[in-house]
Copies of this chain bind each other. A is one copy, B any other.
Amino acid sequence: MQIARVCGTVVSTQKLDSMRGLKLLVLQPIDDDGQPLPHYEVAADLVGAGTGEWVLVSRGSAARVESGREQCPIDALAIGIIDTVSVENRQLYNKKDQY
């Protein structure tokens, strides 16, 4: 999985029927200093993540294993909102510090 920061949303009305009702997040992967990389990816959201939050993103067929999502043509899914990332005994990120 990747650690990524939610930085926006994508809206698409002309799309496959199986995509209806899915919220689509724009994400930036996080580098080893905790900074967002200048690169966008899009993931479906089932955890209610908001802009500025860090999420855990799973890619590939993992995005479709949830019951009822098998026919949905997505290849990335936010599977959790991150509370803390700890690296070498320090905290790279703590959600509480952000708010």
Give residues in A with beta carbon < 8 Å to B.
1-3, 7-16, 18-19, 24, 26, 28, 30-32, 38-43, 46-48, 51, 56, 58-67, 70-77, 79-89, 92
The 8 closest A-B pairs by CB, nearest first: A15-B80, A12-B80, A8-B87, A1-B42, A62-B75, A14-B81, A32-B38, A62-B73
Closest to A94 in B: B11
Closest to A61 in B: B61
Indicate if the CB atoms of B56 and A63 lie closer than 8 Å: no
Indicate if the CB atoms of B74 and A41 lie closer than 8 Å: no
Indicate if the CB atoms of B79 and A15 lie closer than 8 Å: yes
Partner of A3, one of B13, B42, B83: B42
Indicate if the CB atoms of B64 and A64 lie closer than 8 Å: no
* CA–CA, A58 and B79, complex, Å: 18
Nearest Cβ on chain B to A34's Cβ, whole angstroms:
10
* CA–CA, A23 and B2, complex, Å: 15
Q: Which residues of B contact A79 (CB under 8 A)?
A: 15-16, 19, 73-74
